[in-house]
């Protein structure tokens, strides 16, 4: 889908949310962008590799589990643009006759801040470019799982070239949630010059919305855990 075909919405974001948006993101449309990764270590034996991170910046996870973090930076882009797309790259190698299977686990709850108020989807994409706000739009339908993959089959291999796959975290947001309504009526009574009592009243109301601050967005961890298997043990 091209940008010209997209139906973008004008957002009414609270002053608090707009102030929080000034955490260091410029005014350009977000395309390929990653929040952060927390993975450490290096593969010791060279027979298998599982690495996760932003496109072009993966880090090995030899302990079997990698954690990709989506947090305040994504929330700031979401408040500013009304949508955000965060691509995740996964690299896999398994030599010999061992296959490799992994499971991606998104957060069960995106909390009570901006990402919690947004429509969030996690799904596989063919390329990093397919996870961008230029390629995706609010209202698109995305797969709802399963979040797992078997990139390497249990066939003999000596390759050191990773099998690369991509996942996407996409969120769309159309303003803070309504928390209530307020209404008030004021009445004024006065005496006219001819001695008559004059009364007038006026009413006003307002919708109360949550004050959501991107800088207060917690870190949301997406975990990716891999296992290897031999022929006949396919997951």
**Could you report the per-residue pLDDT of 133-142, keeping only the tens digit for each?**
999 999 999 9
What's the pLDDT at 234? 86
Using DSSP bridges, classify how beta strands 119-125 and 83-94 pair: parallel, antiparallel or unpaired: unpaired
Determine contact, residues 50/91, Cβ cutoff 8 Å. yes
What's the pLDDT at 29? 31
What's the pLDDT at 174? 84
Describe the chain by its helix, strand, coil percentages, rounded to 5: 10, 45, 45
**CA dihedral in degrees (10, 206, 110, 53; nearest 10)?**
30
Backbone angles phi, psi at 184, to 5 degrees: -145, 150
What's the pLDDT at 229? 94
Please report, for residues 12, 52, 97, 158, 159, the alpha-carbon distance to residue 47 in angstroms, rounded to integers and kept in the order given: 53, 17, 10, 8, 9
- CA–centroid distance for 190 within its chain: 58
pLDDT along the chain (235 residues), means of 10: 37 31 32 42 59 96 94 93 96 95 96 92 97 95 92 94 98 64 54 68 40 88 96 90
CA distance 32 to 205: 42
The set of residues, in sequence order, having a beta carbon less than 8 Å from that of 4 and lying 6+ positions away, is none
CA distance 217 to 1: 30
Q: What is the DSSP string of 203-230?
A: EEEEEEE----GGGPPPEEEEEEEEEE-
CA distance 214 to 143: 27
């Amino acid at each position: 889908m091209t940008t010209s075909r997209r139906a973008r919405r004008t957002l009414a974001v609270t002053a608090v949310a707009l102030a929080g948006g000034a955490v260091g993101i410029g005014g350009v449309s977000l395309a390929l962008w990653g929040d952060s990764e927390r993975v450490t270590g290096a593969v010791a034996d060279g027979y298998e590799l599982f690495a996760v991170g932003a496109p072009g910046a993966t880090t090995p996870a030899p302990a079997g589990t990698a954690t990709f973090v989506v947090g305040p930076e994504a929330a700031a882009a979401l408040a500013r643009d009304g949508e955000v797309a965060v691509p995740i790259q996964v690299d896999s190698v398994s030599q010999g006759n061992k296959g490799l299977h992994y499971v991606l686990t998104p957060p069960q709850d995106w909390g009570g801040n901006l990402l919690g108020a947004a429509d969030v989807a996690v799904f596989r994409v063919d390329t990093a470019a397919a996870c961008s706000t230029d390629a995706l739009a609010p209202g698109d339908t995305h797969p709802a799982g399963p979040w797992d993959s078997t990139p390497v089959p249990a066939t003999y291999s000596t390759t050191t070239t990773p099998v690369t796959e991509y996942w996407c975290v996409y969120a769309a947001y159309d303003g803070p949630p309504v928390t209530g309504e307020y209404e008030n009526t004021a009445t004024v009574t006065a005496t006219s010059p001819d001695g008559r009592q004059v009364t007038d009243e006026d009413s006003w109301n307002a919708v109360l919305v949550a004050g959501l601050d991107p800088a207060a967005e917690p870190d949301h961890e997406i975990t990716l855990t891999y296992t290897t298997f031999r022929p006949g043990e396919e997951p």
